[in-house]
Amino acid sequence: DIEMTQSPSSLSASVGDRVTITCRASQGVGTYLAWFQQKPGKAPKPLIYGASGLQSGVPSKFSGSGSGTDFTLTISSLQPEDFAIYYCQQYIDYPLTFGPGTKVDI
Amino acid sequence: QVQLQESGPGLVKPSETLSLTCSVSGFSISSGYYWGWIRQPPGKGLEWIATIHRDGTPYYNPSLQSRVTISLDSSKNQFSLHVRSVTAADTAVYYCARRFPIEYGGRSHYHFDYWGQGSLVTVSS
């Protein structure tokens, strides 16, 4: 199985901050990497596919980069609605695996 | 607009079978590529359970494979999940999702693009 790790596990930030979350895969996944945002009581919302492709309807303040084993999700200017948990997920191979999540709060 | 909706009992007794159905609207299951189930225990992260291709080929998480069955009913535009011999560890919010390809960077990316709202299933006597 491909193990996904994320850092940090949680972070505190302020409105307007630039935030970067890191995701690492235990083996290369090319660019078959997605990012999701999850708010309490809600389903995960897709943000990024292909490591850097922006899901339709997602604001451009979200951006992704990386390939192989190391990836980042950046939020350029944090807004109140961005406080959530963020997960990465590899989909190059079964079993599909998610990172443990990064909680972004105030 | 593609919509997915999970349905099933919210409470299941230990050792029994958990059964969930995902009803899809706004899109034909037989046109989609893959359909899947993901679960999330209370306060924990996401775990992929199973995926089924539109041709009926299933893919299972090895950690659950011996107890799980995923199936497709194109006539009802639904797909289902059955988890046998459940324990308290199977208590979770269960999500159904569509895994659909998008062309990007010269490759097809089969990512989970639409999700249901989730269905909480509690295993308890």
Quickly state the pLDDT bin for A61 (edges 50, 70, 90): very high
**Confidence (pLDDT) at B32:** 74
Per-residue confidence (pLDDT) for residue B31, from 0 to 100: 84
- Within 10 Å of residue B9's Cβ, how many Cβ atoms? 13
A42 contact B CB<8A: yes
Cβ–Cβ gap B112/A50 under 8 Å: no
B68 touches chain A (CB under 8 A): no
Q: Does B101 touch chain A (CB under 8 A)?
A: no
Query: Which pLDDT band, with edges at 50, 70 and 90, does A84 fall under?
Result: very high
CB B95 within 8 A of CB A43: yes
Q: Give the span between the Cα atoms of B76 and B103, in whole angstroms.
A: 29
**B112 Cα to chain A: minimum distance (Å):** 7
Q: What is the DSSP letter of A96?
A: P
Among B41, B62, B49, residue whose Cα is nearest residue A101: B41
Q: Look at A99 and B45 and tell me if their CB atoms are within 8 Å.
A: yes
**pLDDT score, position A8:** 97
Give yes or no for B95 touching A (CB within 8 A).
yes
Q: Tens of pLDDT along B15-37?
A: 999 999 999 999 999 887 899 99
Strand segments, DSSP code E, in A1-106 are 4-7, 10-12, 19-25, 33-38, 45-49, 53-54, 62-67, 70-75, 84-90, 97-98, 102-105
| Whether B121 contacts B20, CB under 8 Å | yes
Contact: A53, B109; criterion CB under 8 Å:
yes
Q: What is the DSSP string of A23-48?
A: EEESS--TT-EEEEEE-TTS--EEEE
- Convert the pLDDT of each residue in B61-115 to its tens digit: 999 999 999 999 999 999 999 999 999 999 999 999 999 998 898 889 899 999 9
Write out chain B residues lying below 8 Å of A1, CB-based: 62
